[in-house]
Amino acid sequence: MEGGTAGPGGEAVTVLGAAAIWLAQDRSPESLELLSAFFEALGSNLALIAAQRAVQEAQRSLCRGPDVKSLSNTLRPGPGPDTI
């Protein structure tokens, strides 16, 4: 879409604006408030799910590496100076 809203999300903003106008046709103010609340709650829940998945992925990436058994073998203390 050339000549429209500038920026990487400009096309999406235009489509969302058109969708809002279409949804608002022949609806009462009360219906529009309800639709607004619905989509706001939907967006909040999607953002929460995205954040939760990002945290889980970060935790998984921190836990990757040697397994626990190989770590315990390398971290096992050897003979110290007082065992000689």
Q: What is the pTM of this model?
A: 0.57
**27 within 8 A of 35, measured Cβ to Cβ:** yes
The pLDDT of residue 1: 42
Look at residue 10 in the predicted model and tell me its pLDDT. 86
**pLDDT (tens digit, 9 = 90+) per residue, 26-45?**
999 999 999 999 999 999 99
Residues in the chain, pLDDT under 70: 1-8, 65-84
Which tokens in the block code for residue 27?
């609806």
Q: According to the model, what pLDDT value does residue 61 have? A: 86
pLDDT of residue 30: 97
Long-range contacts of 33-37 (CB under 8 A, 24+ apart): none
The runs of H, that is alpha helices, within the chain are 10-24, 29-63, 68-75
Cα 51 from chain centroid (whole Å): 4
Model pLDDT, residue 18: 95
Amino acid letter for position 83:
T
**Distance between CA atoms of 39 and 36, rounded to whole angstroms?**
5
